Amino acid sequence: MLEMLREVDVLKHEKQALEILIAQLREANENLLCAKLEISHLAHHDFLTNLPNRVQLNERLTQATALAFRKQRKLAVLFLDLDRFKSINDSLGHTVGDKLLQGVAQRLRDCVRTSDTVSRQGGDEFVILLAELEHEDDAARIAEKILVALSLPFAVCEHTIYVSTSIGISVYPTDSMQADDLIKHADTAMYHAKENGRCQFEFFKPEMNLIAVERQTVEADLRAALAGEEFRLFYQPKVNLESGAITGAEALIRWRHTQRGLVEPDQFIAVAEDSGLITGIGRWVLGEACRQARIWQETGHMNGRIAVNISAVEFRQGDFVEHLRAILDDTGFDPSYLELELTESVLMNNAVATITLLTQLKALGVHLAVDDFGTGYSSLSYLKQFPIDSLKIDQSFVRDILNETDDAVIVDAVINIGASLKQRVIAEGIETSEQVSFLRSHHCEEGQGYFFSVPLEAEAFTRLLERGLEFHH
Ligand code: C2E
Ligand code: MG
Ligand code: MG
């Protein structure tokens, strides 16, 4: 009997021990599950913003396309890239940049429904999946909502930061039925939105793909072009609107492509900038323009200035001034006869650094002009601080000077700004004698445009310098 009782006791203990073991195992299992979930969360989310990452987006998009197929519905992919985020990061530091991205992530989340997915692809790129779409217009509406939401300033570490974004949109099934193609197409459309002036959205169109393929060929061809001396400079006269005298010339690059013939800068400058090839091209342009202008000076053909367009990428390169000095030394060209044309947006982007750079350039003795004036957003107080010699009124205003009163008012205002800042004003894109009359009566001294002459190759320009312009008013 006693023996039996003891056995029961042992069994009880064993049972307890087993129960403890089971409880421990259960806990371990739960911990493991949690760890697994955490790992899975980390693998599917972006560390900085805690948004779903690329992996998670791809999974959801694949599911969503399958569902859309079964339910015969549409869905949309929005590809976003912040405009000029790099300059914010560079100027205010990575901590500010990171906080800004978190703020952007929050606003994006607020713009969509919970059934939609906002993901971060990395850097300043976000992709949004709109899972259930009644109509394509709904995607446009959301894109607009995002543009507005992001246009409000962000307060980050005592800074007030303004950002904008460019958005590309692709739609299932119209643009593609494949998840990865939808992302690729939205990315392509985003690229176009950026090219068209940023802070806007654009739907994917099939012809955009052709252009994307073309960009790659253009880039490869550009590399060969620089080595193969396929670039040419054309020259367009700048003219005194009172006397008709040629006051100088603007050098404009052309690409004599072996198969395509003469290619205009609008077709390749952007690719050259993106690929970094613009540096080499820009140096060639400066050297060639100085070389040619020196010949015209020595032969007594021209005593005006030669103007050269400088791209944003060249201008922002740390060694731009140094290289310019070397080119001037090499060509023996008098810097006071060289004018650099910089666009308004280049100058205003990081205005403080611009002042330093412009001051260095002025110290070299070169002249400085603001190109396409009126198309960007100039701060007049900066404009006053910049050591600028001339303003070039953008041709878009000159074009409609006689029909659209707004443009006439703008042109008149620019002429007055130039007068009060003691800067020369040059009107671009003059095509008719009526435009000349208008500009003269508004005291614009100089102009440039097809009315006087199209851009000419050096030889033809030499002949133009010899005979002068036939100009009656
Ligand atoms: P931009 O500096 O504003 O040059 C003026 C553009 O207007 C030139 O186009 C010129 O041919 C064109 N143009 C001149 N008169 C008229 C006119 O009466 N009517 C019209 N509709 N257009 C006129 P182009 O040569 O195609 O150059 C386009 C742009 O490419 C230039 O604008 C400039 O920003 C850039 N570019 C040209 N050459 C170079 C270069 O060597 N380096 C860099 N970085 N950019 C360049
Ligand atoms: Mg120009
Ligand atoms: Mg211009």
**What is the reported pLDDT for 189?**
95
The confidence band for 87, taking pLDDT boundaries of 50, 70 and 90, is confident
Residues in Cβ contact with 143 at an 8 Å cutoff, skipping those fewer than 6 apart: 78, 167, 169, 201
For atom 43 of ligand 1, the residue with the nearest CA is 309
Cα-trace Rg, the chain: 31
Question: Is the beta carbon of 341 within 6 A of some atom in ligand 1?
Answer: yes
Ligand 2 centroid to residue 188 C-alpha, Å? 29
Q: Which pTM was predicted?
A: 0.69
> What pLDDT, on the 0 to 100 scale, is given for residue 473?
60
- ∠ at Cα 358 (349, 97), nearest 5°? 30
Distance CA 238, CA 253 (A): 16
Instruction: Return the pLDDT at 1.
Output: 66
Of 80 and 261, the structure prediction assigns the larger pLDDT to 80
Residue 304 beta carbon below 6 angstroms from any ligand 1 atom: no
Task: Return d(Cα 436, Cα 430) in angstroms, integer.
Answer: 7
Q: Which atom of ligand 1 is nearest to the CA of 252?
A: 38
For ligand 2, the distance from its centroid to the CA atom of residue 283, given in whole angstroms, is 16
Any atom of ligand 1 within 6 Å of the Cβ of 286: no
Q: How far is the first Cα of the chain from the last one, in angstroms, to the nearest whole number?
A: 135
370 C-alpha to ligand 3 centroid (Å): 9
C-alpha span between 132 and 112 (Å, rounded) = 11
Distance 39 CA to ligand 3 centre (A): 55
What does the pLDDT look like over 46-60, one tens digit per residue?
989 999 999 999 999
Contact 183, 79 (CB under 8 A): yes
61-65 own/partner pairs: CB under 8 Å, 24+ apart: 61/117, 61/129, 61/179, 61/182, 61/183, 62/179, 64/129, 64/131, 64/172, 65/172, 65/177, 65/178, 65/179, 65/182
Q: Is 429 close to ligand 1, i.e. is its CB under 6 Å away? A: yes
Sequence-ordered list of residues with C-beta below 8 angstroms from that of 369, at least 6 positions apart, any chain: 307, 339, 340, 341, 342, 388, 389, 390, 391, 392, 426
| Whole-number pLDDT of residue 428 | 97
Q: What is the pLDDT of residues 173-183, one digit of tens each?
A: 999 999 999 99
The CA 358 to ligand 1 mean position distance, Å, reads 22
CATH number of 54-206: 3.30.70.270
- 336 in Cβ contact with 309 (< 8 Å): no
Average pLDDT over residues 405-421: 90
Q: Among the listed ranges 40-54, 174-188, 298-312, 422-436, which one has the minimum average pLDDT value? A: 40-54
DSSP result, 57-101: HHHHHHHHHHHHHHHT-EEEEEEEEETTHHHHHHHH-HHHHHHHH
Mean pLDDT of 294-308: 96
Of the candidates 31, 20, 138, which has an alpha carbon nearest to the alpha carbon of residue 12?
Answer: 20
Is residue 262 lining ligand 1, measured as CB closer than 6 Å? no
CB 469 within 8 A of CB 449: no
Report pLDDT for 235: 98
Between the CA of 8 and the centroid of ligand 3 the distance, in Å, is 100
The answer to whether the CB of 233 falls within 8 A of the CB of 458 is yes
Which residue has the least CA distance to atom 6 on ligand 1? 429
175-to-57, 209, 281, 333 alpha-carbon distances in Å:
18, 11, 37, 55
The residues near 244 (Cβ < 8 Å, ≥ 6 apart) are: 468, 469, 471, 473
Cα angle 105, 111, 116 (rounded to 5 degrees) comes to 85
What is the predicted pLDDT for the residue at 35?
67
Q: How far is the CA of 287 from the centre of ligand 2 (A)?
A: 17
Which residues lie below 8 Å from residue 436, measured CB to CB, with a gap of 6+?
241, 430, 447, 451, 473
pLDDT one-digit tens code per residue, 326-366: 999 999 999 999 999 998 878 887 788 899 999 999 999 99
Ligand 1, residue 264: give the atom nearest the CA: 26
- Indicate the Cα dihedral angle 12, 17, 21, 27, nearest 10°: 90
Kindly indicate the confidence band of residue 9, based on its pLDDT and cuts at 50, 70 and 90. Answer: confident
Q: Mean pLDDT over residues 290-294, rounded?
A: 97
pLDDT of residue 148: 94
pLDDT tens digits for range 188-243? 999 989 877 777 899 999 988 877 778 888 888 999 998 889 999 999 999 999 99
| Structural tokens at position 294 | 């020196």
Backbone angles phi, psi at 242, to 5 degrees: -80, -55
Measured CA angle at 260 (ends 254, 262), to 5 deg: 25
Ligand at shortest distance from the CA of 253 = 1
Ligand 1 atom closest to residue 278's alpha carbon, by position in its atom list = 44
Lowest average pLDDT, out of 25-29, 394-398, 438-442, goes to 25-29
Specify the ligand 1 atom closest to the Cα of 394: 3
Which of 195, 238, 252 for a ligand 1 pocket mutation test, highest count of atoms within 8 Å of Cβ? 252
pLDDT average, residue stretch 78-84: 92
Q: Name the band, by pLDDT with cuts 50, 70 and 90, for residue 432.
A: very high
Domain extents in the chain: 54-206, 217-467
- Which range, of 14-28, 90-104, 107-121, averages the lowest pLDDT? 14-28
Residue 205: closest CA among 254, 136, 125, 108 = 136
State which ligand 1 atom lies nearest to the alpha carbon of 310. Answer: 44
User: Can you tell me the distance from the alpha carbon of 194 to that of 253, in angstroms, rounded to the nearest whole number?
Assistant: 24
Relative to the alpha carbon of 346, which ligand is closest? 1
What is the third-level CATH fold of 217-467?
TIM Barrel (3.20.20)
Contact 395 CB / ligand 1 (< 6 Å):
yes
Residue 77 has pLDDT above 80, yes or no: yes
Q: Is the distance from the beta carbon of residue 188 to the nearest atom of ligand 1 less than 6 Å?
A: no
**Portion of the chain with pLDDT greater than 70, in percent:** 97
Q: What angle is formed at CA 27 by the lines to CA 26 and CA 28, rounded to 5 degrees? A: 90
* Residue having the nearest C-alpha atom to atom 12 of ligand 1: 429
Protein residues within 5 Å, CB atom, of ion ligand 2: 309, 341, 371
pLDDT(83) > 90: no
